[in-house]
Structure 1
Amino acid sequence: MQIHKRIKDHGRYDRSLKRQVARRYLAGEFSYRVAAEEYGLRDGSVVKQFVRWYKKEAAYLDAVEETNKRTEEEKDDLVESSSGSLAELHRRLEQAERERDEARLAAEGWRTMIDIAEQTFSIEIVKKSAAKPSAK
């Protein structure tokens, strides 16, 4: 039987030992007291502490893994929504360009109609920008 001693620097046991003992206990291989005897630990309370520590560590690792998974899902959603948003923006840009082209054509049509009306009826429809006000 090998007696496990605490690590000198902090008075703690090695993490791999804690994991091994806790896993075996949680698997139902032995009780706290039997585990303490088998691993040369002071008593069953040490094994109980190992199990508590292991459960906290496992919960923490599960939480980290869940957070990482959520982060990956959020990235995927962002990429999908970005591509959707990008496609939507592209569609809106094309629509705006079509509307601009139609407005240019309409403006050109109005200018042409005004020019024809001025020539046909010999009247000034478009006011000259440098025209002076009439003197009364």
Structure 2
Amino acid sequence: MSAAPDTPRTAVRRRTRILRLIVLIILVLATLALAWWQYTRWSESGSFQNLGYALQWPCFGAFFIYVWKKIGDYEDELAETGVSPTVREKQQQAAQGDFSEIDPALLPERPTLDVDTFNELNKPQRRRGEIRDDFR
């Protein structure tokens, strides 16, 4: 049994996935190194701020892993269905009905002004460069 040859699209996907995995490993190792560095600063005579950072850096590493997994899920869904998740959600919303607008009957009437009334309400009170006597 021989494996089917890679199509250009799957080869690019594989290379992209490997590159993303390498970047993920570098980022996670960097966050763990920074956590260790902050922990050693705290244990030598640092403040509790250093301990907080030592606990915070692994959380960043976990976030990188979560994002990497979600991007992989989205790419797998796109490869399987041919439709991206955002387009699929828009299609589902369109099928269910558009609920993004409020019925105009629920809203109060907006006041209407003509241009002259608007300009009269927003007329400047003094001219530019004019100095008022009470500030001298």
Q: TM-score higher than 0.5 here?
A: no
TM-score of the two chains, using structure 1 as the length reference: 0.30
Largest Rg, 1 or 2? 1
